[in-house]
Homo-oligomer: A and B are copies of this chain.
Amino acid sequence: MHLVKLGGSVITDKAKVTTLRRTNLVRLAGEIAASGQEVIVVHGAGSFGHIKARKHRLQEGYVDDAQLPAVSEVQRDVRTLNLAVVDALRRAGLRAISLPPSAIARLDDGALRSLDIDVFRRYRDLGFTPVTFGDVVLDARRWFAICSGDLLMLALAEAFRPEAAIFVADVDGVFTADPKRAKGAKLLPTVGPGTIGAIDTAAETDDVTGGLAGKLERMIAIAGFTERCQLVNGLKKGRLLAALRGQRVVGTRVTP
């Protein structure tokens, strides 16, 4: 079984609220289906979640009542994105089943306290393709909090010990510095706990789920539960498919 995380920036327009990058989404759904692999799909919220979440400081948990309509609104927006992902997977021939974290996950002070793993397992055993996503979720201490797609990847990797955990991003891999800003930035074919210090993560614009440094930490943790944890560029045709087939592909492997 493979875990695939479709990064929010690959399937949504980062800057425009609730705007899809539909061509990418449809192509990536096709690559997942073409691989013939059994897959659980996790997708980010992208501009369907981050923009309003940041505006209403949902990542801080409950601050005041004015946030409550925004919780309902952001959940609704990410469900719309999720329906588009489910539709793309269904059209590619997969039997996609949506499992929303706002209904099946609970956080405690921002950490994942519970996730109904059994529901993923049972749908998968029946030949369905479970799909989950970054969402606003109940939190025991903060009332609500953001449950990122990466947090879900970690919990699912721990539970399913997948053959591979593949992160689909809008860059070729992890670089020594931000490749969109620094000219001399070099792609790192592998990253692990020993090499993470060499990466300049300061330039990364932080999002509501923690930015590159937090992402790498989580990927290193995930690498402990799978033979292959890697990051590939979802804007380049065929890279996700090659990774799902276990072929050599441009990207970064993350080691535990």
Contact = CB atoms under 8 A, between A and B. Distances in A.
Give the interface size bracket for A toward B.
Answer: 20 to 34
Tally of this chain's copies: 2
A89 to B, nearest CB: 9
A191 to B, nearest CB: 34
Interface string A88-131: 00100001111110111000000000001001001100111000
Contact of A96 (B65, B72, B83, B86): B72
Contacts of A79: 79, 83, 86, 98
Given A72-B128, A75-B97, A127-B68, A119 B90 contact: no
Contact of A119 (B68, B95, B138): B138
Contacts of A75: 97-98
A79 B126 CA distance: 20
Interface of A: 65, 68-69, 71-73, 75-76, 79-80, 83, 86-87, 90, 95-100, 102-104, 116, 119, 122-123, 126-128, 138, 143-144
